[in-house]
Amino acid sequence: MRILVLGGDGYLGWPTALHFSRAGHEVGVVDSFARRQYDHEMGVDSLVPIVPLFRRVRTWEEVAGLTIDTFVGDLTDAEFVKKTLREFRPHAIVHFAEQRSAPYSMIDQKHAVYTQVNNVVGTLNLLYSIAEVDPDIHLVKLGTMGEYGTPNIDIEEGFIEITHRGRTDVLPYPKQPGSFYHLSKVHDSANIMFACKIWGLRSTDLNQGIVYGQETPEAVLHPDLATRFDYDGVFGTVLNRFCVQAVVGHPLTVYGSGGQTRGMLDIRDTLACVELAVGAPPAAGEYRVFNQFTESFSVMQLAEMVVDAYPGRVDISSVQDPRVELEEHYYRAAHTKLLDLGLVPHLLDQGMLSSLLAVADRHRDRVDPDAIRATVEWKRTASWLPTAGRRSDGLARSSR
């Protein structure tokens, strides 16, 4: 197959491209290098050094004898998207090309607007281009379990059967996103479902949990092929942060009570899930949703697992939660569709934790302790608003 990976220079996009290339597919990657710019903006860097994309591609050709086509551009540029699809003619598109940090989207108005424009407009451009160039292209889009929030009922895979006043229908599962980033994913899902309905497109929405791990079978073949390891307070994931804190002797910072529970999966399972989705495309006009995670853990459970896995002393410290979220809640989500397709999960165990800790320890000289601190607050008060335009009751006044 010809597979185009959007966001192919990123944490998941790059190892996905390598995985499909090694499996014998013709692979192209698209990237604008926005993710690297976020590092410059935040003053942080991946714990594991990563080299430029063109060097990555050249090294892959030297190591594996395989080529990967590269396309540099932004999905918000509609003509670029259309031109790329016409040139590469993909059978499937794997879409990772979005700003993916909830804290980044909550920094301020500018970052919230950027996140939604980048993500929603980029995906809309992609949908229009697929419809015009080849409606038979299978779009595999990375969504997030964060679209659902934490309802007090079981979470289904995309849809739920509702009986109301004696009538029954299957409807999209209600969404309760927790950030402007997660809201952008909700908008994407609605737009993709609508495009499938009106244009006969085919799409798989992968509502993914939190991914952990940095090493994949292809990425470990050469240092130039390594993917990212983010631990900072804006783009870092909770398990990465805990592992880095452990090796540098910093208490593991648990937000609030630590009862926040999320679905999680190994990076190798991300590659397997995407491969399974691509290998079993939906029918024309079908929009389907897979919940892509393998296990659920609370934040406190993860901290305790790191404490148990690390050979030295590690303390756990509770800090004020910068987010607006329930710190204790019910969480039970269905995730059977990928298992039915043949997924054999890698579960989080002492071996994986030891591997993550080893990666963190190997690069401990690159750790910036200040970068770990949570600096983005979800709550905003009237005092935060600009003085101009503020009403006497403390509420913002319309500029119209």
Cα 362–228–235 angle (5° rounding)? 110
Alpha carbon distance 81, 77 (integer Å): 6
C-beta separation of 236 from 360 below 8 A: no
Q: Are 155 and 220 in contact (CB under 8 A)?
A: no
Q: Give yes or no for a contact between 353 and 309, defined as CB atoms under 8 angstroms apart.
A: yes
Q: Tokens representing 131?
A: 């419809």
Surface-to-core class of residue 73, CB atoms within 10 Å of its CB (0-12 exposed, 13-18 middle, 19+ buried): middle
Q: Are 212 and 206 in contact (CB under 8 A)?
A: no
Q: Which residues pair with 208 in a beta bridge?
A: 144, 292
Catalytic positions, please?
Answer: 144, 181, 185
299: its two tokens? 């934040």
Q: Could you tell me if 207 and 186 are in contact, meaning their C-beta atoms sit under 8 angstroms apart?
A: no
What is d(CA 104, CA 12) in angstroms, rounded to the nearest whole number? 18
Q: How many CB atoms lie within 10 A of CB 43?
A: 10
Give 188-222 as a DSSP string: HHHHHHHHHHHH--EEEEEEE-EEE----TTGGG-
